[in-house]
């Protein structure tokens, strides 16, 4: 047998991911683009419904309040997505609600000054206004870091080795929203997971009139089948005598969104009244804003790869963070009970459909805005059981995580230094947040538990985020351990050309602002 040649067992590093049908600036036909935009809209509903469904009842709100918050969050998601794809990084990313804001918001809900209000509706409105005030103040962190280009300066300390754990844990760190949720209703979660994998991978070569309909719309096809199956189980009385929590996770009629939704309702700023401001609440919320900054940084880099674009230069990344800060300000002004970050599941869908087109995401933003105003129609789609979304997350979060791992191709993984940094950052990035979450479940408060509530919320929020922990550890180790002698091993020679806008000719194609705005905001 002839000896194997090195080129036969190795694969050269590639700046852009290959195999996509449409990249960031190429567009499918209008019919296909609209259908794909609707698919992204349906996927974005999971988080948009889950966050208000969890928080509004804790605040004393009723089903009508929950519907209004869902509609408002969807509306702002659409606006923020358009702003980001037009003026921010210009990557095909959906800007959705963020779970990073849950810890400080729950802390505000449990504030003694609010819990003593006896009237549930008044307590809901007072709590909403307190959350709005905190989010409005905290949004200034991303606005300042982004538009002042301070985040661009910080990102110059990033290397492929340092970014691998951050991007990977942007997906892996969400593991508790995957199969643990699927397990709450296995009779619809498992079929959804199996069908999605079957359609998107094993039947992707099936074509109708030379169009890969199954690959493009695997999620929608599987969702329709399982949603109909879940409705059949609900209508047949299969859950009539099951525990309440099982009914919430499995039934298609438990959200009460359709009956509570108005036919037409247009969200507007300060619709809940004038925000109230508290320094402690605002400081704690700043931790969530920092977490969403880091998580979005990882998601932006993953989206660039899945859109077959080059890594965004530091000033483009910083510009995107600045516009995300504007988005968080809008969250506060409109009252969405959340901040904003890049929707990781929608980034994963770029890879699943092999369509990384910016236009598709802009169309999905149009669907979000349109259906948020037409309450009954939007509520119909929003009534999909969250277990179905969790099954899809199992695939899409894993896909985003693997994109992070793919950055290892630009580094020397025969280096013990790189193995140490990657392994320790990944392990602690999973282990530390899991400790904080597990501690909070058992003790009903986080490990940080002093008399200063704002300080507790700040630390508990920071260390409950896997990408945030990974960034702190990986970037510190990467810039202190033999960093001068290890530039080539770290992947810096490859990374260097993407550190400036003019370092690579493709940057202009992917990241130039529309309407010739680069005249007023010249790239650095």
Residue 308, sorted as left (phi over 0), alpha (psi -120 to 50) or beta, turns out to be left
What does the pLDDT read at residue 4?
65
Classified as helix, coil or strand, 499 is coil
Classified as helix, coil or strand, 170 is helix
Q: Tens digit of pLDDT for each residue in 390-432?
A: 999 999 999 999 999 999 999 999 999 999 999 999 999 999 9
Short-list 41, 45, 105, CA closest to 328: 105
* List of residues 6+ apart from 371 with CB closer than 8 A: 41, 74, 377, 378, 381
Q: Answer whether 301's CB lies under 8 Å from 358's CB.
A: no
Q: Answer whether 318's CB lies under 8 Å from 146's CB.
A: yes
Dihedrals phi, psi of 332, to nearest 5 degrees: -70, -40
Higher pLDDT, 16 or 217: 217
The pLDDT of residue 519 is above 80: no
Q: Tens digit of pLDDT for each residue in 139-175?
A: 999 999 999 999 999 998 999 999 999 999 999 999 9
- The set of long-range contacts for 251-254, using a CB threshold of 8 Å and a minimum separation of 24, is 251/385, 252/227, 252/383, 252/384, 252/385, 253/383
Short-list 191, 61, 48, CA closest to 124: 61
C-alpha–C-alpha distance, residues 421 and 475, integer Å: 9
* Tokens representing residue 55 in the block: 């928080």
Crossing angle between the packed helical segments 30-59 and 218-235, to the nearest 10 degrees: 50
Higher pLDDT, 43 or 449: 43
Classified as helix, coil or strand, 172 is helix
C-alpha–C-alpha distance, residues 298 and 75, integer Å: 25
The full set of domain ranges for the chain reads 30-405
Whole-model pTM: value is 0.94
* List of residues 6+ apart from 99 with CB closer than 8 A: 47, 51, 177
What does the pLDDT read at residue 210?
79
Q: Tens digit of pLDDT for each residue in 461-511?
A: 999 999 999 999 999 999 999 887 888 889 888 888 888 777 777 878 888
What does the pLDDT read at residue 8?
64
Q: Answer whether 192's CB lies under 8 Å from 181's CB.
A: no
Q: Answer whether 474's CB lies under 8 Å from 423's CB.
A: no
* List of residues 6+ apart from 146 with CB closer than 8 A: 318, 319, 320, 321, 322, 323, 324, 325
Short-list 279, 280, 410, 301, CA closest to 347: 301
DSSP letter at 374? B
User: pLDDT confidence of 9, banded at 50, 70, 90?
Assistant: low
* List of residues 6+ apart from 323 with CB closer than 8 A: 83, 84, 87, 88, 146
Listing DSSP states for 406-449 in one string gives: HGGGGS-TT-HHHHHHHHHHHHHHHHHHHHHHHHHHHHSS-S--
Out of 117-121, 186-190, 207-211, 342-346, least confident range: 207-211
C-alpha–C-alpha distance, residues 153 and 338, integer Å: 28
User: pLDDT confidence of 2, banded at 50, 70, 90?
Assistant: low
DSSP letter at 96? E
Which residue(s) pair with 116 in the sheet? none
The pLDDT of residue 264 is above 90: no
Terminal-residue alpha carbon distance, the chain:
55
What does the pLDDT read at residue 523?
63
Q: Tens digit of pLDDT for each residue in 300-356?
A: 999 999 999 989 999 999 999 999 999 999 999 999 999 999 999 999 999 999 999
| Percent of the chain's residues with pLDDT above 90 | 68
Higher pLDDT, 13 or 408: 408
* Tokens representing residue 341 in the block: 């970050």
CB atoms closer than 10 angstroms to residue 515: 9
Q: Answer whether 165's CB lies under 8 Å from 404's CB.
A: yes
Classified as helix, coil or strand, 450 is coil
What does the pLDDT read at residue 502?
74
Q: Tens digit of pLDDT for each residue in 426-469?
A: 999 999 999 999 999 888 888 988 888 889 999 999 999 999 99
Cα 358 from chain centroid (whole Å): 17
What does the pLDDT read at residue 521?
63
The pLDDT of residue 1 is above 60: no
Cα 80 from chain centroid (whole Å): 13
Q: Answer whether 204's CB lies under 8 Å from 212's CB.
A: yes
What does the pLDDT read at residue 171?
95
C-alpha–C-alpha distance, residues 312 and 309, integer Å: 8
């Amino acid at each position: 047998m002839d000896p194997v040649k090195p080129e036969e067992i190795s694969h050269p590093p590639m700046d852009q991911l290959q195999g996509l049908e449409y990249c960031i600036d190429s567009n499918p036909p209008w019919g296909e683009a609209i259908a794909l935009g609707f698919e992204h809209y349906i996927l974005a509903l999971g988080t948009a419904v889950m966050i208000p469904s969890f928080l509004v009842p804790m605040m004393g709100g009723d089903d009508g309040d929950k519907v209004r918050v869902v509609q408002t969050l969807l509306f702002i998601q659409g606006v923020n997505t358009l702003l980001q794809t037009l003026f921010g990084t210009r990557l095909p990313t959906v800007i959705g609600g963020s779970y990073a804001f849950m810890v400080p918001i729950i802390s505000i809900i449990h504030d003694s000054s609010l819990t003593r209000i006896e009237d549930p509706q008044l307590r809901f409105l007072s709590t909403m206004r307190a959350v709005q005030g905190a989010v409005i103040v905290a949004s200034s962190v991303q606005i300042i870091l982004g538009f002042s280009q301070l985040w661009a300066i910080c990102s110059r300390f990033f290397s492929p080795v340092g970014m691998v754990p951050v991007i990977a844990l942007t997906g892996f760190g969400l593991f508790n929203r995957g199969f643990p949720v699927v397990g709450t209703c296995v009779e619809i979660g498992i079929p959804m997971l199996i069908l999605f994998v079957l359609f998107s991978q094993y039947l992707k070569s099936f074509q109708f009139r030379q169009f890969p309909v199954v690959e493009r719309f695997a999620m929608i096809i599987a969702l329709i089948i399982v949603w109909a199956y879940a409705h059949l189980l609900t209508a047949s009385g299969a859950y009539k005598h099951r525990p309440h929590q099982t009914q919430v996770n499995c039934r298609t009629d438990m959200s009460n969104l359709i009956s509570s939704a108005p036919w037409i309702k247009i969200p507007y700023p300060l619709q809940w009244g004038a925000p109230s401001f508290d320094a402690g609440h605002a400081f704690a919320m700043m931790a969530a804003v920092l977490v969403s900054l880091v998580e979005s940084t990882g998601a932006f880099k993953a989206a660039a790869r899945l859109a077959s674009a080059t890594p965004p230069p530091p000033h483009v990344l910083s510009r995107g963070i600045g516009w995300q800060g504007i988005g968080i300000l809008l969250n506060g002004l409109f009252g969405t009970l959340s901040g904003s970050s890049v929707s990781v599941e929608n980034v994963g869908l770029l890879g699943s459909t092999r369509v990384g087109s910016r236009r598709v995401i802009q169309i999905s933003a149009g669907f979000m805005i349109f259906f948020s105003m037409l309450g009954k129609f939007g509520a119909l789609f929003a009534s999909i059981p969250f277990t179905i979304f969790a099954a899809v997350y199992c695939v899409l979060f894993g896909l985003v995580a693997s994109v992070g791992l793919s950055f290892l191709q630009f580094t020397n993984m025969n280096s013990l230094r790189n193995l140490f940094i990657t392994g320790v950052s990944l392990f602690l990035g999973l282990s530390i947040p899991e400790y904080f979450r597990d501690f909070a479940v058992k003790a009903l408060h986080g490990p940080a538990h002093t008399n200063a509530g704002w300080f507790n919320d700040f630390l508990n929020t920071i260390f409950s985020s896997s990408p945030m922990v990974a960034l702190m550890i990986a970037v510190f180790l990467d810039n202190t351990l033999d960093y001068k002698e290890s530039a080539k091993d770290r992947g810096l020679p490859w990374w260097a050309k993407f550190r400036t806008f003019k370092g690579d000719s493709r940057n202009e194609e992917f990241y130039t602002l529309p309407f010739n705005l680069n005249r007023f905001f010249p790239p650095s």
